């Protein structure tokens, strides 16, 4: 698998999106077990961007966990804030589904891709 490359702007947007998220996986004193890795993988498939809470006061151990998660699951570390790790892995299936669906709330006209105005909504 190829290493994920993000621009500074993309990382900035992911950090902003992660702000409202709650941790979905917790790593306790038992460490990074196979079940925890599997749970992180499942959440990355479902959400792409997740927060992971790590219990314990050892900063170096948290950094090791983050590196191991990124290596095993081919994801990228977006940010660490205290005991919270934020990781991202794009889901290619999710991108295909969202590109194929036409969502009227997207603010774009499906026919020509132009941004819709207030008048466009009123004429429907």
> Which residues fall within 8 angstroms of residue 42, CB to CB, at 6 or more apart?
none
Q: How confident is the model at residue 109 (pLDDT cuts 50, 70, 90)?
A: low
DSSP 77-105: EEEEETTEEEEE---HHHHHHHHHS--GG
Percentage of the chain lying above the pLDDT 70 cut = 77
Question: Is residue 1 over pLDDT 70?
Answer: no
* Residues 110/102, Cβ–Cβ less than 8 Å: yes
pLDDT value at residue 4: 82
Q: Could you report the per-residue pLDDT of 4-44, keeping only the tens digit for each?
A: 889 999 999 999 999 999 999 999 989 999 999 999 999 99
Reported as a pLDDT band with limits 50, 70 and 90, residue 117 is confident
Which comes out higher in pLDDT, residue 19 or 116?
19
């Amino acid at each position: 698998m190829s290493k994920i490359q993000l621009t500074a702007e993309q990382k900035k947007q992911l950090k902003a999106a992660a702000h409202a998220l709650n941790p979905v996986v917790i790593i306790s004193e038992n460490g990074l077990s196979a079940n925890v890795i599997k749970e992180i993988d499942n959440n990355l498939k479902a959400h792409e961007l997740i927060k992971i809470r790590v219990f314990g006061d050892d900063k170096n151990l948290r950094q090791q966990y983050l590196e191991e998660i990124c290596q095993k699951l081919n994801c990228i570390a977006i940010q660490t804030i205290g005991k919270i790790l934020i990781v991202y892995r794009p889901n290619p299936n999710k991108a295909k589904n969202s590109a194929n669906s036409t969502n009227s709330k997207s603010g774009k006209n499906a026919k020509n891709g132009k941004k819709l105005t207030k008048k466009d909504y009123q004429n429907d």
